[in-house]
Amino acid sequence: MHRREFIALVGGAAVAWPRAAPAQQPTMPVIGFMSGRSPDDSVHLVAAFHQGLGEAGFVEGQNVAIEYRWAFGHYDRLPALAADLVGRRVAVLAALGGEASALAGKQATSTIPIVAGMGGDPVRSGLAESISRPGGNVTGYTVLTSEMEPKRLGMLRDLVPGAVIGVLLNPNFPPSAGQLQELEAAARKTGQQLFILKASDDAELNAGLASLLPQRVGALLVCADPYFDTQRDRIIAFAAQNRLPTMYHFREFAVAGGLISYGPSITDAYRQAGIYVGRILKGAKPADLPFVQPTKFEFVINLKTAKALGLAIPSGLISFADEVIE
């Protein structure tokens, strides 16, 4: 074969050879993040979730992606949000912002791992076989705030003795029946008079708050509920305008101008949720991860608000507080 013919043959063969495919970038796992709350009142909570993810070695946009969905306190939207995220085949579903979110996630999938965030008992809610060994595809945290209503009632009664206490309750919140039962039992033991008002949307909230005024209610207890978290500023403004001492469940209310709050650290709970999501992405099984329970409770008094209400806070109560806002 002549040299020119050989070069032509090799050149033609080279055209026919398959070229090496470019190296493909690995696809980042996707986390589905759904909440019964709203994004506006959850900025610090999302930051805490990211902190937990970071502690587990994951950073959004670098080695993990996150799809966010919000119910804005409308719990009937949660099943569709959960179904949407499950349909996108997320690697882990973070169902936060209350039992309704966790239950919607559980209903949508029995195979995708779920990290739930709730205020009540996951066993009683049917989400886990036990706290220490959940046994299914759901684990997470419970801040137990829904079960602390009698404690908050007692603290408020001590602050405003003899007053009729209004109780703001959301009947659409899954633990609400238990909240009401425990509050009424506690009130019977001490002879405390309660005025129950129920609200699950903006119109009902406006009407319920207005109904307090002719009832000579002397103080207000806002029951733990993600919908009320989305209405924080409205509730605080009403209490200030009507000079109504009010007890809340999270520190964020007292910081925003509410009088007093007692409950677990919700930011630490969201950080723990991020850690659990990261551990599951690394191969841990939800069935083997115990539900995390709070170890720290925050009692916060806003003395500036107390002064505006003309209310003297007993020195013993102030000394007991974890944080005093002046």
Residues 314-323 have pLDDT tens digits of 888 899 899 9
CATH 3.40.50.2300-classified regions of the chain:
30-144+265-295, 146-263+298-325
Chain-centroid distance, C-alpha 50? 14
| Residue pair 192/217 in contact by the 8 Å Cβ criterion | no
Q: DSSP secondary structure string, 46-63? A: HHHHHHHHHHTT--BTTT
Residue 22: how many CB atoms within 10 A of its CB?
6
| Residue pair 60/46 in contact by the 8 Å Cβ criterion | no
Please state the φ and ψ torsions of residue 173, each to the nearest 5 degrees.
-80, 125
Check whether domain 146-263+298-325 has CATH 3.40.50.1970, yes or no: no
**Tokens found for residue 135:** 């046994």
Residues 271-311 have pLDDT tens digits of 999 999 999 999 999 999 999 998 878 999 999 999 999 99
Q: What residues contact 243, with CB distance under 8 A and at least 6 apart?
A: 308, 309, 310
Rounded to whole angstroms, what are the CA distances from 222 to 71, 121, 149, 216, 261?
20, 20, 9, 17, 10
Reported for 211-214, long-range contacts at CB under 8 A and 24+ positions apart, including other chains, are 212/166, 212/242, 212/244, 213/242
* Regions of the chain short of the pLDDT cut 70: 1-26
List strand residue ranges (DSSP E) for 71-127, in order.
92-96, 114-118
The CATH class, in words, for 30-144+265-295 is: alpha beta
- At 317 the pLDDT is 87
